[in-house]
Amino acid sequence: MKKLVNKDKKRRKVVKNFEKKKKILISIFKNTSLSTFIRWNASNSLTILPKNVNEVRLNQRCIVTGRNTKIHKIYKFSRLKFLHLAREGSISGLKNSSW
């Protein structure tokens, strides 16, 4: 599990490093007022970038356990850890309710 968490952290770092460059190249490519040669060069530069630059390749992971399935969007915990912390009362603003 720790290996996957570290791999995800590395991917996030790569995405962050290439974020500005990718946005600039995309804006050049979409700008129709520029010459086709400049736009073509921007397109080629985009294809040369590594695969891990895309945000799509990132996984949402639990910040405590590292699970990648069934993550609560607001709290960033897996459902198991979320229930455990909610029962303990560790999450502020959240309380048990019974019917």
Domains with residue ranges and CATH for the chain: 1-59 (1.10.287.1480), 60-93 (no CATH)
Q: From CA 45, how far away is CA 22, in angstroms rounded?
A: 9
Q: What is the pLDDT of residue 24?
A: 95
55 touches 24 (CB < 8 A): no
51 touches 57 (CB < 8 A): yes
Greatest Cα pair distance in the chain? 67
pTM over 0.85? The answer is no
pLDDT at 3 exceeding the cut of 70: yes
Residues paired with 71 in a beta bridge = 78
φ and ψ at 58, to 5 degrees? -80, 145
> Mind listing the pLDDT tens digit for each residue in 36-89?
999 999 999 999 998 889 888 888 888 888 888 888 888 888 999 988 888 888
**From 49-53, 88-92, 95-99, the region with the lowest mean pLDDT:** 95-99
Q: What is the pLDDT of residue 28?
A: 95
